Amino acid sequence: MHMAHASFPFLSAILLSCVAGMIAIMLIPADNKLLIRRVSAFFSGITLILSLWVFLSYDKGLGGLQFVENVRWIPSLGISYFNAVDGFSVPNLLLTGIVFFTGVLTMWELETRVKEYFALYFLLVTGVFGLFMSMDLFFIFVWYDVSLFPMYLLIAVWGTTRKEYGAMKLTLYLLAGSALILPAIIYIYAVSGLHTFSFVSLMQPGLLSPNAQKFAFLLLFLGFGILAGVWPLHTWSPVGHVAAPTGVSMVHAGVLMKIGAFGVLRVAIMLCPVGWIYWAKLMAVLAAIGIIYGALVGLRQIDLKYVIGYSSVSHMGVVGLGLSTVTVEGLNGAVFQMFAHGIMTALLFSSVGYIYDRTHTKLIPELGGLSRIMPVASAFFIVAALAGMGVPGLANFWGELVVFVAAFRTYPLLGIVAVVALVVTSLFMLRVVQRTFYGPENERFAKLPDVSPAQGIPRIILAAVLLFVGLYPSFLFDVIQTASVPFMSGLPR
């Protein structure tokens, strides 16, 4: 694999700006809320710019690993601080940057325990960034857990509906995932006999025996799959999303679930390709069930956030279906869908957060006719909902299209079923839009203000990204291609 070392450690700079932001926030007195918000916006803005820079300057002609930083960390165990990006991780890095920044802006109006909220939020995002850029299995695991444990407090302190239950359920489920991942990682380390956790060394074809790959793949797929919301391990996800405060829901559904899918791709699939091919059918079936199940259960929900939560299960099923096809197109579509779904879901939660903060309800029957009361806020939600339905011109269309084309070729039956399920998704999204934003108004909310231009900034950014990527999909596809094509051509057949 080609490796280009970084002239300047941009990737570490991203992590550092998150950590520096966290430390800066912790040093500000708790009463100075405005300063805390500004500092948060400043550091998350720097992070966004850095991740955008990494994305734009990733050399598509060269491909392979770029921005490589490699420092020996624990030599006696073969652990190194090894950061790099490839075509799979670059889009996710950009996604995290965007959601992180817009998440800070969305939570601008937070008043309770502001300092602690942003400090934990920064810690969470540090873990996410670390996981996307790490090339060392040990660090991948460490970042996974770093991004996990601030969640408990973030949801339990600042959340809403059944927050303690949701927080506990989410944390235990995700830790159960790590309980499968850690033995698998150490197993790969021990079986390889190389005494290294370096991803690049462990990727040599033929290093792990087929049986070892099948065993490790299953553990890794289930472990990361919990975080990716794979049916039937998804039950934490709607509950957790509903309970979390808006900014955390955004990061959570937007980025954290992507960590799961990315972990399946990066660790399970790339290290154990034989296991991948062996278990692909299982992945496909679970993904298809997830798509259908999420859509059908979503149809029955009356809580706006539950609707989004179940649509996430359904949409992450599309990612899983893409990964299970064992084709270049499938991988391309899956990574594209990760990005698109991340932005879309962040926009949905951001809009619902605004509506909830004003109306103090998320129940669809109590809302209604909102498009006349707050037309701008409604527009944001409707744009995101349209993206979720896969309307051409918005990002998700491309991800779903490519995945389904690939799925039809590999699993014709499951492909048809999944497409039908997607029609159901559109149906329930349309129904939600119709009931929430049209129809008779609720008089209680008639006096509520619409989104002001300043409050609109994060939502405008997200909607603009959806539209831009929807109109110019090769912006992402060209990058993803640089990783998926060499990987698939190197597969043992």
Partner 1 sequence: MNWTTAGPEIYYFAASLWFLLATFIGDGFGPREAPPKAAPTLSAAQPPASHRRREHLTALFLASVGVLVCLISTGSQGHLFIRAYRVDLFSQVFKTLISLGLFLIICLCGDMTDIRQRRHHEFYFLLFTCTLALMLLVSADHLLSIYISLEVSSYSLYILVALRKNQGFGLEAGIKYFLIGTFSSAVMLFGMALLYSMSGTTYLDDMARVLPEIIGQPGVVIGLLFTLGGFFFKLAVFPFHLWAPDAYQGAANQVAAYIATASKVAAIAVIVRVLAFAGQGSVYLVHVLAIVSVVSMTLGNLAAIVQKDLKRLLAFSTIAHSGYVLIGILVLSPAGYSGVIYYALAILVMKFTAFMVIVELASDGRNLQIEELAGLHRRSPILALALMVSLFSLAGIPPTIGFTGKFLVFVAAIEKGYVALVIIAMINVVISLYYYLLVIKAAYLLEPAVALPPLGVSMPKKLLAGVSTLVIVAAGIYPSWLIQLARSAAQSLIWTR
Question: Interface with partner 1 by CB under 8 A: which residues?
Answer: 73-77, 116, 138, 141-142, 145-146, 148-149, 152-153, 156-157, 164, 168, 171-172, 175-176, 178-180, 182-183, 186-187, 189-190
Judged by beta carbon, residue 174 or residue 283, the one nearer partner 1 is: 174
CB of 291 to partner 1, least distance (A): 28
CB of 317 to partner 1, least distance (A): 25
CB of 113 to partner 1, least distance (A): 9
Judged by beta carbon, residue 160 or residue 426, the one nearer partner 1 is: 160
CB of 187 to partner 1, least distance (A): 6
CB of 32 to partner 1, least distance (A): 16
Judged by beta carbon, residue 41 or residue 176, the one nearer partner 1 is: 176
Judged by beta carbon, residue 47 or residue 126, the one nearer partner 1 is: 126
Judged by beta carbon, residue 187 or residue 468, the one nearer partner 1 is: 187
Find out whether 291 and 418 touch, Cβ atoms under 8 Å. yes
Judged by beta carbon, residue 156 or residue 389, the one nearer partner 1 is: 156
CB of 25 to partner 1, least distance (A): 14
CB of 246 to partner 1, least distance (A): 19
Cross-strand pairs, 85? 66
Judged by beta carbon, residue 95 or residue 148, the one nearer partner 1 is: 148
CB of 11 to partner 1, least distance (A): 17
Judged by beta carbon, residue 73 or residue 408, the one nearer partner 1 is: 73
3-state secondary structure the chain: CCEEECCCCHHHHHHHHHHHHHHHHHHCCCCCHHHHHHHHHHHHHHHHHHHHHHHHHCCCCCCCEEEEEEEEEEHHHCEEEEEEECCCHHHHHHHHHHHHHHHHHHHHHCCCCHHHHHHHHHHHHHHHHHHHHECEHHHHHHHHHHCCHHHHHHHHHHCCCCHHHHHHHHHHHHHHHHHHHHHHHHHHHHHHCCCCCEHHHHCCCCCCCHHHHHHHHHHHHHHHHHHHCCCCCCCHHHHHHHHCCHHHHHHHHHHHHHHHHHHHHHHHHHHCHHHHHHHHHHHHHHHHHHHHHHHHHHHCCCEHHHHHHHHHHHHHHHHHHHHHCCCHHHHHHHHHHHHHHHHHHHHHHHHHHHHHHHHCCCEHHHCCCHHHHCHHHHHHHHHHHHHHHCCCCCHHHHHHHHHHHHHHHHCHHHHHHHHHHHHHHHHHHHHHHHHHHCCCCCHHHCCCCCCCHHHHHHHHHHHHHHHHHHHCCHHHHHHHHHHHHHHHHCCCC
CB of 324 to partner 1, least distance (A): 25
Judged by beta carbon, residue 202 or residue 318, the one nearer partner 1 is: 202
